[in-house]
Amino acid sequence: MQKADAVVIGGSAAGPVAGISCRRRYGDKSVILIRKEKRVLVPCGIPYIFGTLGSPEKNLIPDALLQNNGIELVEDEAMEVNRERKVVSLNNGNTVSYDKLIFATGSSPAVLPIPGIEKGNVFTARKDVAYLKNMLDAVNDAKDIVIIGGGFIGVEFADECKKGRNCNVTIVEMLPHCLQLALDDEFCSEAEGVLRDRGIKLLVDSKVEAILGDNQVSGVRLSGGQELKADIVIIGVGMVPNNELAKRAGLEIGPGKAIAVDRCMRTTADPDAFACGDCAEKVSFFSGKPSRLMLASIACAEAHIAGANLFHTHYQNPGAVGVFSTIIGERAFACAGLTERAARQEGYDIVLGESTAPNTHPGGMPGAVSTKVKLVFSKHNRMLLGSGISGGKSVGEIANVISACIQSKMTAYELSLFQMGTHPSLTASPIVYQLVNAAELATKAK
C-alpha cells in the first residue's frame, strides 16, 4: 500500500493545480496524484487539434508540472474510495491511503438521446488521445461535416475543421443564435457573420431529430424534416460531471449532478474529502444560486482553494463569475460576468455603457482592430455586473481585467477613474480607452 498526506484523483486542469497548491502551502506534506490516462490533454485545446495544432500530441499537459512540484504520479484508475479506512482502491489491485483526499475527476461530453447516435463517425470532444486521433482521421477524410451545438465548443470545432480543408461544415443550433448562452445578441450576430464569411453554414432554431445511416453515419434529419449529408457528426453540447466514484464513496451529489461542497471546497459529507473543478457543485458569484458553469478557469480557482484548505482553512470560494473567450478567424469574442440578457433574467435593473475604438493609437497603426466593450451595471448602485467584448486577440485579457473588477465589486464611478498604461502599438488611446469611456457613459445613464 502506498501512502500520502494528500491524494488527488484526476489529472486534468483541476487535479495538478490542487496538488501544486497543497505543496506550496504545506511544503512538508506528501502528495500523490492518481489518474487513469497515460497522457492528459489540455481540455480547451481539443478543437484546435483539428486545425491549428494538427495532432493530439501537440495538446498535452506535461508531466514535468507534477515532477517539478514534488508530486508523485500514479497512473491507474481509482475504482473505490473507502472513506472510513481512508483508502483508495486502484484497478490493478493496489491501494493508496491518505489523510486528505481531493476529487478532481472532471467531466465528460454530454450525449444527446438522438436515435442513431451510436453510429460510426459520430464523435464528441472526448478527452482521449487515441479517440481524437481516430476523429482527426475521420475529419481529414470528410466532405460533409455536421456539428450539433453552436456554443463555444461547436463554433471552435467548425472554424478549425474549415482550416486547410475543402469541406462543407454545418452547425445545427436549437437556439435563435450561436453562442447565445454566453454572449448578447449583437455579439452573437457579429460572430455568426464571421462564421458565414468563412464558409460555415448555420442552421439556428433547428434541432437534430435523428442520425441517419446503416453502421456509419450518412446524414442527419432535422425536426422539420430537412436532411443533411454528413460523413461525420460532431456533438458539442456541453459536459456532465464525472460523479460515479464519489457516488460509490457515499458523498452527497448536488442539484447539478456534481459533488456537493461548501465554500471551502470541502465535501458536505466528509470533512477530509474535498472536490474541485467540473466534478464539484458551483454557485453563482452574483446570486449564490447553483451554477452550471464548467470552465477551466473556474476549475483552477477552485483547485487553488481546495489545495490550500486541506489542512487549515485559508480561502473561501466567492462563486463562479464566468469568463469566456474565443476566436473565429481573426475576430475574438469574450465576456465576463453577466450579459445584459442574463442580468435582466436575474432580476437586475441595469444600465449599460458601450465604447468602440481601435486597439492601437493612432488607429492607422499596423494591425489595428476595432474593439467594442459593453459593460453592464446595476442601476441601483452602478456596481459592475458583466460585459461583452469583440475585437482582436487582446479582448481575452480585457475580459480577465473586467473579471477582476467584478470580483472587486467596482462601480462605474471607480472604473471611470481607472488608470491604465497605454502604448501606441499595444492599447487603445487613453483618450478613447473603451473600459473607461463605457464606464463613464454608464454613470450618466438614466
- pLDDT one-digit tens code per residue, 318-342: 999 999 999 999 999 999 999 999 9
Select from 245, 265, 263 the least CA-distant residue to 310: 265
pLDDT given for residue 1 in this prediction: 87
**Tens-digit pLDDT profile for residues 122-134:** 999 999 999 999 9
Same domain, 20 and 54: yes
pLDDT given for residue 432 in this prediction: 95
Same domain, 139 and 208: yes
pLDDT given for residue 446 in this prediction: 75
Same domain, 88 and 124: no
Q: Which residues pair with 334 in a beta bridge?
A: 325, 389
Q: Is residue 325 part of a domain?
A: no
- The confidence band for 24, taking pLDDT boundaries of 50, 70 and 90, is very high
64 has a pLDDT exceeding 80: yes
Q: How many domains does the chain have?
A: 3
33 has a pLDDT exceeding 80: yes
Dihedrals φ, ψ of 283, to 5°? -125, 155
Residue that is last in its domain, among 202, 219, 237: 237
Which CATH number characterizes residue 257's domain? 3.50.50.60
**Tens-digit pLDDT profile for residues 336-387:** 999 999 999 999 999 999 999 999 999 999 999 999 999 999 999 999 999 9
What whole-number distance in Å separates Cα of residue 123 and Cα of residue 208? 15
Domain of 36 in residue numbering reads as: 2-107+240-309
Same domain, 289 and 233: no
**Tens-digit pLDDT profile for residues 409-428:** 999 999 999 999 999 999 99
Same domain, 184 and 255: no
**Residue of 187 and 363 predicted with greater confidence:** 187
The fraction of the chain above a pLDDT of 70, given in percent, is 100
Q: Is residue 319 part of a domain?
A: no
82 has a pLDDT exceeding 80: yes
Same domain, 222 and 148: yes
CB-based contact 5:27 (threshold 8 Å): no
pLDDT given for residue 123 in this prediction: 98
Which CATH number characterizes residue 351's domain? 3.30.390.30
CB-based contact 397:345 (threshold 8 Å): no
Q: Is residue 33 part of a domain?
A: yes
pLDDT given for residue 445 in this prediction: 80
Q: Is residue 428 part of a domain?
A: yes
Does the pTM surpass 0.75? The reply is yes
Same domain, 216 and 121: yes
Torsion of CA 87, 256, 276, 287, to 10 degrees: -140
Same domain, 126 and 227: yes
Q: Is residue 97 part of a domain?
A: yes
Select from 211, 83, 65 the least CA-distant residue to 147: 211
Mean per-residue pLDDT of the chain: 97
Q: Using the 8-state DSSP alphabet, how is residue 69 labeled?
A: T
Q: Is residue 318 part of a domain?
A: no
**Tens-digit pLDDT profile for residues 252-307:** 999 999 999 999 999 999 999 999 999 999 999 999 999 999 999 999 999 999 99
| Ranges of H-type helices in 57-151 | 64-67, 129-141
Residue that is last in its domain, among 237, 252, 269: 237
Same domain, 93 and 127: no
Same domain, 87 and 195: no
Q: Is residue 50 part of a domain?
A: yes
Same domain, 200 and 263: no
Q: Which residues pair with 120 in a beta bridge?
A: 216
Same domain, 151 and 224: yes
The fraction of the chain above a pLDDT of 90, given in percent, is 98
Residue that is last in its domain, among 250, 275, 309: 309
